[in-house]
Chain A
């Protein structure tokens, strides 16, 4: 575990000594702030559901910018030659990097909490629904980053990694819409089951269901396992 911790600490240092983390966090917080103001003050919503929905889509588009550098940057800078020859197992490298990216996600989530201050000052929001929304948001982000890490290991080019990740995440987000066009029950269930948006929707309505939690955790675990396998395979 100490090897994964070493990689994690290095990741955090490299994130915050390059502009990309500041850029992603700033853009995300600006976007989330705008959606909050729009939904609560302009559209007159009294719950956070609409804001969480917008935050989810914004996360899908910005998560690739966090994950794109995880391995692609190591390969293009030549540091992969150090990282992969240190006495570290592939899972330690993958986990350390993943935890670094998840830390940025947690920072983003923490930054959006500021939006809740006026909500509590001027109203009586349902705290449990908000907590459930945040849990869903973090689980959704964890799945997005795990998939992003997987696509970052297959290319040396960060832009290519980001584009592939964005395409796949958008597909997972919108795949639920295909349910409408299916006559087959099996396909309808499958598309519904694969949809990030539908699983996330339960969280933002305050439904903290085990199957939804497990869905995002299993997607993350599969992506991370494939990443470790791909790393070994590249040798």
Chain B
């Protein structure tokens, strides 16, 4: 093992399947004690990146190291440091939960004497006690997801790779899973792949944004929050004098910018696109203020989408 400050290091990693370039020169690091969110839409290259770091597939070019071990030549040594939860939990349906965890623990080299305590620890952390003796094919989706996480936690790996770990869970289970990840991330390196903006901003220290196999940005959740705020929009349909309406809306707290469009058929109805900050109640203030003076026909709040945040990032990067 070579010395290295970062637990996960990607240097100019590219991946090609036939003529399709999946990843383009990806470089980033994840340090011990931090949770890094890996954010991107479906098909962005998140799973491929996770698989390369986990050692399931190899990079076409570039270098990946985990805990100082090169994944190209020392993947077995590196695998001892990695807990990996693929997008689809890798479960043997015919086994029961206990046999499955025992198999993974044995494969990870956990000694027989420590096996019982280790199984108890991970099943407690993932709340699997109730289904410990049950066959896996009988488990609900939530339990399957948590069992996938439990196998990754066996042996307390230094690095945890989580590919969409909360997909398909109910809100309570999502909260519990995030708490497990948060606790684990205090003294381990965690890379968390997700397409949920909220998840990335809630539990990650840094967020790497990927799209079409390219890394767009690595930012703090605050930076991401800023980009999200800039993509919050409210659309109004109102009959009002344009100048007065503009002045009224811009005087309100939380309104950043607006664009007024006249009706294409020459009618009096205006369509107004208002860019707002994410502070709560801003649409209510707009509604109160506009409805008090003019005829408000429609008001709609648009939540920021991943795509809109990407576009904002791309614009900001170009501007910078």
Contacts and interface: CB of A to CB of B under 8 A. Distances in A.
A83 B135 CA distance: 19
Contact of B92 (A2, A14, A81, A85): A14
B86 A82 contact: yes
A5 B112 CA distance: 13
B95 A235 contact: no
Given A89-B76, A235-B55, A6 B94 contact: no
Interface in B6-62: 51, 54-58
B16 to A, nearest CB: 14
B55 A85 contact: yes
B76 A81 contact: no
Contact of B79 (A5, A14, A77, A85): A85
Sort chain B's interface into a size bin: 20 to 34
Interface string A17-49: 110000000000000000000000000000000
Interface in B143-195: 151
A9 interface: yes
Interface stretch (B100-108, B200-208, B239-247): B100-108
B307 interface: no
Interface in A36-88: 77-88
Nearest to B84: A85
A85 B66 CA distance: 13
B235 interface: no
A169 interface: no
Interface string A175-194: 00000000000000000000
The SS class assigned to the A binding surface is helix
Contacts of A83: 90
B99 interface: yes
B40 to A, nearest CB: 19
Contacts of A82: 84, 86, 90, 104, 151
Interface in B55-73: 55-58
A14 B80 contact: no
B4 interface: no
Contacts of B109: 2-3, 87
A81 B90 contact: yes
A86 B104 contact: yes
Contacts of B79: 85-88
B82 interface: yes
A82 B135 CA distance: 18
B239 to A, nearest CB: 57
Nearest to A6: B106
Interface in A68-112: 77-89
B128 interface: no
Q: How large is the interface on A (under 10, 10 to 19, 20 to 34, 35 or more residues)?
A: 20 to 34
B253 interface: no
Given A5-B106, A7-B107, A87-B109, A81 B51 contact: yes
B93 interface: yes
A222 interface: no
B8 to A, nearest CB: 14
A81 B88 CA distance: 9
A235 B108 CA distance: 20
Interface in A110-154: none
A167 interface: no
A214 interface: no
Nearest to B103: A10
Contacts of A81: 51, 54, 56, 84, 86, 88, 90
B91 interface: yes
B58 A235 contact: yes
A13 interface: yes
**Of listed A7, A80, A86, residue having the most chain B CB within 10 A:** A86
Interface in A180-235: 235
Interface of A: 2-3, 5-7, 9-10, 13-14, 17-18, 77-89, 235
The 5 residue pairs across chains A and B that have the minimum distance between CB atoms: A82-B90, A6-B106, A17-B94, A87-B79, A10-B103
Given A87-B77, A87-B80, 17 more contacts: A2-B106, A2-B109, A3-B106, A9-B103, A10-B95, A13-B99, A17-B135, A77-B93, A78-B89, A78-B90, A81-B88, A81-B90, A85-B82, A86-B104, A87-B76, A87-B108, A235-B55
18 contacts: A2-B109, A3-B109, A5-B106, A10-B92, A10-B95, A13-B94, A14-B95, A78-B89, A81-B56, A81-B88, A82-B84, A83-B90, A85-B79, A87-B77, A87-B107, A87-B108, A88-B76, A235-B55
